[in-house]
Structure 1
Amino acid sequence: MENNLVVQSNDLILATYTMQKTDKELMLACISQIDSRPDAPNVTQDTEYKVTVDDIKSLFFGKKSKNEQNVYRDIENASKRLYDVDIVMSLPENKTLQTRLVSSIVYDPDNGEVVLSFANKILPYLTQLKANFTKYKLLEIGELSSIHSIKMYELVVMWVNQYQYSKEFTIEEFKHVMCVKDKYKQFSELRRYVIETAINDINENTNYKVSVEYQKKARGKGYKGLKLKFHKKLLDKIAGKDGKLSEDKIKSIVDNVQFMNDYNDHPGLSYDGKMSTDSFKREMINIIQREPESFNKPNKALESYLPKVSQGK
């Protein structure tokens, strides 16, 4: 688990399943051991992934101390629950896949470890991925406190990689994508235990900032939907006083002639982006939002290209 890189097909991220936070952590600890590159060695349901008590403590407990015996008990129980997990995934042509996640488990209490193998039907969504996938470092979700926070974080990373920086849902659509379709009948419970908990958790403990706007019903009380907005925290310096990222500010940066002169050699630009002003501006709008950390030339931070009168507004 040297790199701790989690790579999953977006179809798997959008799949529905029910699991607890510890189950998800164990699942991700195994996934992070898979080489998902297209030319990686073949993986089968006999390929095994070992997770130890020390792995779980270092990845998910941080500075918190926890008895090793209790940690092993937790990962053993999580393994048993994972063995019973159903993954339900939408397929083309109106088909649906239902599959187990795990095909086998070996318990080793004496050495404080479990060894898992993934089910055959799930492997195409974890191995030899060429496109339509999302990746993040496992340590990025190490401080998140709930399964809903981890799920929302994965979705946010996926959407940003797809050049989407906001998403609008009906209440039922949101419950489906968050795998809580049959839970939280009252909106107040959904808002408190899922939406607000996940957003606050992500904002406090990850490299992303998320905000929400609730949409009220046209008549009567209650809400019909919500809109999530999200961006990397590195972009906070060009966000408004309300903490939200304005597309107008990003456009004003890419329209700045000095910005073009300074970053026309950016490695994220295509050949057309380096040759054409219009292509440069179009591509840079997305590169800024996806990879703000890449604009790191001395004295050439993104906020330095904002018109002086616009800063802080």
Structure 2
Amino acid sequence: MENNLVAKSNDLVVASYALTRHEQNLLLACVSQINSLPDAPIVSIESRFTVTVEQIKDLFYRGSTERNAYRDLKKAADHLFEREVTIKLDKDETLRTRFVSSVKFQPNDSQVTLRFAEDILPYLTQLKNNFTRYRLADTVELTSVYAVRLYEIIVCWQGQNRWSETLDLDDFRYMMGVEDKYRQFSNLRDRVIETAVEQINENTNYNVTVSYRKVKREHRSVTFKFYKKGAISLTDDKGALSLDKIRRIVRSAQFTADYNDHQLLSVEARDSNEAFWAKAEQLIAESPKEFSKRPFNDYLKIKTD
């Protein structure tokens, strides 16, 4: 199950909801069982998804904490039905719904079976564009529910080629589902933001830096800058991914010679310079370790076309 993919509409990724980490584990383990592709079998309100204690234990528990898996899964099953999500729609409309329409805890089989709510299914199935996808295994080492939420949002931004993002603190609170909590900035910073950033940096393939903006004496916004590990040489002096450096690298004649036949490049990308440059820019930012024939700085020393 750890190689399963979690896919969500971007609208759901940035929606407002609050879950415990155990409820989040149960939800993601079920979401990862959905084939979200447009031509996949249709998932309906009658479709059932089952997760066992053993699966949860293998995914999310280490060492002595494994003995808590049964208790935690039962508690998550007890409360997940009550959890709501608020999704912003067009025309200033909002959708308020639940994640699931039913949750059945089966103690004799040590498992939970759930059905997704009708209104949430369009955000999990038949996804054609504007969605975020990652491996379930990418988040299993994150113990903070806020770290998982921030990780999903970062993957969402990266999919839109956005490597630095500034949010008003109230907007950030909304997405994290903590509008009524951590109103004092120091609590929000220490218990939500810094904890999430630290766990992402230690346990995922992203490096994230965070800064804050003050207006007079009040903190108003937070800025996240991030890049894939292996791309530190592609950052600027402020720690953000430098798109200018990437553009210069891919336009190097040596880079073209090194990677014109790269397996990740489409036939179209090999037929014209413009298509090659555009695709290579995207791939370097997303998967820098795929381009390891020589240090990136070597290409910056070479005159570009």
> Structure 2 length as normaliser, TM-score?
0.91
1:19/1:81 contact within 8 Å kept: no
Please point out which of 295, 300, 304 is paired with 2:291: 295
Higher mean C-alpha displacement, 233-242 vs 178-187: 233-242
Residues 33, 292 of structure 1: alpha-carbon distance in 2 compared, 3 angstrom cutoff: same
Deviates more, 1:191-200 or 1:89-98: 89-98
Matched letter for residue 102 of structure 2:
S
Once the two structures are superposed, the pairs formed by residues 1-313 of structure 1 within 5 Å of their partners are 1=1, 3-61=3-61, 63-68=62-67, 70-217=68-215, 220-239=216-235, 243-269=239-265, 273-296=269-292, 299-300=293-294, 302-307=296-301
- Identical columns (%): 43
SS in 2 for 1:265: coil
Change (3 A) 1:178 1:303: farther
CA distance in 1, matches of 2:140, 2:298: 33
Distance 1:193 1:93, change over 3 A: same
**Which letter does structure 2 place at the counterpart of 1:129?**
L
The one-character-per-residue Cα deviations of 1:262-285 (angstroms, maximum 9, x if unpaired) are 222345556664333344334432
C-alpha distance after superposition, 1:254-307 (max 9, x if no partner): 2311001222234555666433334433443222112324325xx345454242
Equivalent-residue separation in structure 2 for 1:99 and 1:245 (angstroms):
37
Q: Which AA in structure 2 matches 1:57?
A: K
Contact conserved, 2:59 with 2:137, CA < 8 A, in 1?
Answer: yes
In structure 2, the CA distance between the partners of 1:41 and 1:278, relative to structure 1 (3 Å rule), is: closer
Aligned partners of 1:72 and 1:109 also within 8 Å: no
The 1:92–1:240 alpha-carbon spacing in structure 2 relative to 1, beyond 3 Å, is: closer
Question: Is the Cα contact below 8 Å between 2:77 and 2:104 reproduced in 1?
Answer: no
Distance change (3 Å), C-alpha of 1:111 and 1:246 = same
Q: 4+ residue stretches of structure 1 with deviation over 6 A?
A: none
For 1:23-51, what per-residue CA distance to the aligned partner results, in whole angstroms no more than 9, with x for missing partners? Answer: 11110000111111111111112211111
Residue range with higher mean Cα deviation, 166-175 or 234-243: 234-243
Q: Which moved more, 1:116-125 or 1:243-252?
A: 243-252
**Aligned-residue CA RMSD (Å):** 2.1
SS of the equivalent of 2:230 reads: helix
Task: Give the gaps of 5 or more residues in structure 1.
Answer: 309-313
